[in-house]
């Protein structure tokens, strides 16, 4: 059980049977009366965000969330199949549950799948993934300016900005948190 004094950004709580994460948090102590805890909460199932104010002494249930290591296998229509790497059980997630991670999701990628009451609700990719460039404009020698970049298309269809010397067919490392190019990978 959590109390309102335990509230902080990133805390996961359960309200009315749904898991919520605290997105923003502010403590307010008026001149008289009880202290207030103003929070912006995000429903982890639907993605809906709203503001809510709690009084000191309010109690919350801890959201029973579990992360399980799973491997992304394939897409079947609008369903994405993940396999538990220890039990070989398969779980299917929708595009809404995967969110923006779908742009960097490649077959056989090991991910952490977030489960609430044994049902998958989200995916966390590793911090870095290596993807091949399938389309890139050629680089013209002498066409260099400080900090210049060019757009390339990765094997997942995601477009990212890279330095001009990167060519089609090369393997690059992408930061999944920002979706940006990090470095070229030596093969």
pTM score of the predicted model: 0.70
Place of tokens 């089609």: 168
Residue 142 pLDDT greater than 70, yes or no: no
Last residue of a domain, one of 75, 106, 124: 124
CA distance 68 to 92: 14
Strand locations in the chain (E): 2-3, 12-15, 18-28, 36-43, 49-55, 59-62, 65-76, 79-84, 90-94, 110-116, 119-124, 128-136, 150-154, 159-162, 171-175, 180-184
CA distance 155 to 178: 18
Per-residue confidence at 51, pLDDT binned at 50, 70, 90?
very high
Last residue of a domain, one of 88, 107, 124: 124
Question: Same structural domain for residues 44 and 94?
Answer: no
Question: Same structural domain for residues 136 and 177?
Answer: yes
Q: How many structural domains compose the chain?
A: 3
Task: Give the CATH number of the domain where residue 145 resides.
Answer: 2.40.50.140
pLDDT score, position 71 = 93
Q: Which domain covers residue 147, as residue numbers?
A: 128-184
Question: Same structural domain for residues 180 and 141?
Answer: yes
What pLDDT, in 10s, does the model give residues 124-141?
888 999 999 999 888 766
Question: Same structural domain for residues 6 and 57?
Answer: yes
């Amino acid at each position: 059980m959590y109390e309102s004094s335990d509230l902080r950004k990133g805390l996961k709580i359960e309200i009315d049977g749904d898991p919520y994460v605290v997105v923003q948090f502010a403590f307010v102590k008026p001149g008289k009366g009880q202290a207030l805890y103003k929070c912006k909460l995000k429903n982890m199932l639907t993605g809906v965000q709203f503001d809510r104010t709690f009084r000191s002494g309010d109690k919350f249930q801890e959201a029973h969330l579990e992360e399980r290591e799973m491997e992304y296998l394939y897409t079947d229509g609008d369903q994405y199949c993940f396999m538990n790497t220890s039990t070989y059980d398969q779980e299917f997630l929708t595009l809404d549950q995967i969110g923006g991670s779908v742009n960097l999701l490649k077959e056989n990628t090991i991910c952490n799948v977030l489960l609430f009451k044994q049902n998958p609700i989200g995916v966390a990719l590793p911090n870095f993934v290596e993807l091949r460039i399938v389309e890139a404009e050629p680089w013209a020698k002498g066409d260099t300016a400080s900090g210049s970049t060019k757009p390339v298309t990765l094997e997942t269809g995601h477009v990212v900005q890279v330095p001009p010397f990167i060519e089609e067919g090369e393997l690059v490392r992408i930061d999944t948190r920002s979706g940006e190019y990090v470095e070229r990978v030596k093969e």
